[in-house]
Every structure is written in structure tokens, then in C-alpha cells.
């Protein structure tokens, strides 16, 4: 368990309620188990992400789902009130992101990559990148005390190839918390049992009985949960030694060059999950 002096502050941004959980829920749970402070932030309220409901009722529902997920992971989960599907890299939204980062004072920030199928995902990434230097400028968003240094920023995994594919700089095994991640995702009932199956054309596969749904979701997620570990086995072996060969589930992150550099010292401090001999420099 960490002490007050070495506790980290981890800030995970997503465009929608459930995005932080899907991309980094296992890692969030690992940090929380070690006594670090984790905050998940959805930049939109999710009020368009459903096929039979929308607007304020859906936004309130998704806010409650996110809060329940955060409690499951041991983290605070905040949902901002920007409309789903309408997130833009505006000056107003940039200032909002600057304020969120300054108020939390993170050591590490996680967010989508700027290349993504969903415009909200792309602009969430751009907003964090646009805020990265400005958080240190006192006369920008001057009502919130500025940071003396930028935090390290990493992008969460995706499978998109153009204009360039994801580069896995850090890969974290989540076998010990994978069930906790699934439990957190189960909290997003409107998404994992309703909207995503409807949008993906497999709604008829979702069990009608609530007690059967968790097992169904676990099975449905299995290929996705295994994909990263299988794709970056060499990285897992590098970070975990021979134990990396047996890791089944993982989450991966790519360093954003607009944040503070992730050198060997920062790597060891910010990712306290690896056996010391294998926690080498990523460059």
C-alpha cells in the first residue's frame, strides 16, 4: 500500500460515460487497490447513446451508471454536461478541460488517441492535447491556480491504422482485476445490454433475465479483453519478465509527446506494477 507521500493522482478522460472503463478500467482498479487516487471524467453526458430514450432522462441515467462504475473500481467518476455527439474542440471546452486538470492536479492523464471513428473521441483527445501546455500558463483560466509542470499524458489503445497505428509504449496486465472491470462495465446497463447490442445488431443475443446478463457480457467481452495481451506479448515479457508469457488480459497505452516525457524514472514512478528488473526505459 502506498503512503501519502508517494500516492499518485491518475486522471482518465473519455468522451462518453463508459469510455474510460472500456479503455482503462482494469488499470484504474489496480491503481485504486494500491491506494492511489483515481478520477474518471466523461466529457459528454451521453444523452444521445440509446435507441429508445434520449435527452435529460438518458443523461441522468448514464450519470448514475458512471457513478456506480466508479464505485466498483474504487474511483471517482464525473460526467460533464456537454451533449453527446456535440463535443467540439472549442475555446470554451478547452478551458473546461484545463480547469478539470488543474483542480485535480494529476501525475498522469489518460485519453483517447486523436485518430478514431467517433468525432467525440477525436475531439476529447484534441482538447486534452490543447490543454497540456496551457495548464502551466497562469493567465489562461486564471481563476484556477496553474500547474508548475505538465503531467505525463498517455493515449488509450485502439485498433485504427491510419494515419498511423497505435504504438504500445506501456502494457499493463490486468488479470487480477479483470472481473472488477467486467463488474464496472455491467453498471453501464444502458450501453452494454441495450445500446451497443442494438447498434451492433446483436440485441437479440442479450439475455432477458438480469441474473444471466453478467455471464453473457463476460463471455461477449472475452475476445476484446484478450486482444491486447495477445497483440503485445513481447511488451508484457519486457515489463513483467517470464511472468508476462502467462498474462491473459492487458491494457495498453501510447505516450503523447505533448505531455511531460515518460523517461525511465517517470515510468517506474507512474506505473508501479512491474517487477523492478524489467521496468526498463521505453525508448
Question: Over the stretch 253-271, which tens digit does the pLDDT of each residue have?
Answer: 999 999 999 999 999 999 9
229: left (phi over 0), alpha (psi -120 to 50) or beta: alpha
pLDDT band at 2 (very low <50, low <70, confident <90, very high): low
Whose CA is closest to 167, among 158, 175, 176?
A: 158
pLDDT at 278: 43
Is residue 89 packed enough to be buried (19+ CB in 10 Å), middle (13-18) or exposed (0-12)? middle
Q: Is 50 exceeded by the pLDDT of residue 281?
A: no
Pairing of strands 250-255, 170-173: antiparallel
pLDDT band at 194 (very low <50, low <70, confident <90, very high): very high
Where do the structural domains in the chain lie, given as residue ranges? Answer: 4-273
Average pLDDT, the chain: 95
Mean pLDDT across 106-117? 97
pLDDT at 279: 47
Q: Is 80 exceeded by the pLDDT of residue 280?
A: no
Q: Is 70 exceeded by the pLDDT of residue 146?
A: yes
Q: Are 19 and 112 in contact (CB under 8 A)?
A: yes
CATH fold of 4-273 reads: Rossmann fold (3.40.50)
Strand partners, 12: 40, 110
Q: Are 136 and 144 in contact (CB under 8 A)?
A: no
pLDDT at 283: 42
Mean pLDDT across 213-241? 97
pLDDT at 154: 98
pLDDT at 210: 85
Q: Is 70 exceeded by the pLDDT of residue 48?
A: yes
Name the percent of the chain lying above pLDDT 90.
Answer: 94
**Per-residue pLDDT tens digits for 65-106:** 999 999 999 999 999 999 999 999 999 999 999 999 999 999
Task: Give the pTM.
Answer: 0.95
Amino acid at each position: 500500500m502506498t503512503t501519502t507521500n508517494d500516492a499518485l493522482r491518475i486522471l482518465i478522460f473519455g468522451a462518453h460515460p463508459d469510455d474510460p472503463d472500456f479503455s482503462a478500467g482494469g488499470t484504474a482498479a489496480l491503481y485504486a487497490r494500491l491506494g492511489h487516487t483515481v478520477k474518471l471524467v466523461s466529457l459528454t453526458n451521453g444523452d444521445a447513446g440509446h435507441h429508445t430514450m434520449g435527452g435529460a432522462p438518458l443523461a441522468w441515467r448514464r450519470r448514475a451508471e458512471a457513478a456506480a462504475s466508479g464505485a466498483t473500481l474504487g474511483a471517482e467518476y464525473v460526467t460533464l454536461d456537454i451533449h453527446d455527439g456535440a463535443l467540439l474542440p472549442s475555446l470554451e471546452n478547452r478551458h473546461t478541460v484545463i480547469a478539470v486538470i488543474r483542480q485535480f492536479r494529476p501525475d498522469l492523464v489518460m485519453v483517447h488517441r486523436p485518430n478514431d471513428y467517433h468525432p467525440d473521441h477525436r475531439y476529447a483527445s484534441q482538447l486534452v492535447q490543447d490543454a497540456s501546455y496551457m495548464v502551466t500558463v497562469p493567465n489562461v483560466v486564471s481563476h484556477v491556480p496553474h500547474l508548475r509542470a505538465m503531467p505525463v499524458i498517455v493515449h488509450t489503445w485502439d485498433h485504427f491504422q491510419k494515419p498511423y497505428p497505435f504504438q504500445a509504449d506501456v502494457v499493463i496486465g490486468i488479470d487480477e482485476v479483470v472481473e472488477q472491470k467486467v463488474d464496472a462495465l455491467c453498471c453501464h446497463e444502458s450501453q452494454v445490454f441495450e445500446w451497443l447490442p442494438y447498434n451492433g445488431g446483436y440485441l437479440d443475443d442479450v439475455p432477458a433475465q438480469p441474473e444471466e446478463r453478467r455471464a453473457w457480457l463476460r463471455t461477449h467481452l472475452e475476445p476484446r479483453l484478450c486482444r491486447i495481451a495477445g497483440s503485445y506479448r513481447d511488451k508484457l515479457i519486457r515489463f513483467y519478465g517470464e511472468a508476462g508469457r502467462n498474462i491473459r488480459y492487458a491494457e495498453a497505452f501510447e505516450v503523447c509527446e505533448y505531455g511531460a516525457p515518460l523517461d525511465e524514472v517517470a515510468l517506474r514512478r507512474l506505473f508501479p506494477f512491474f517487477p523492478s528488473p524489467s521496468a526498463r526505459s521505453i525508448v
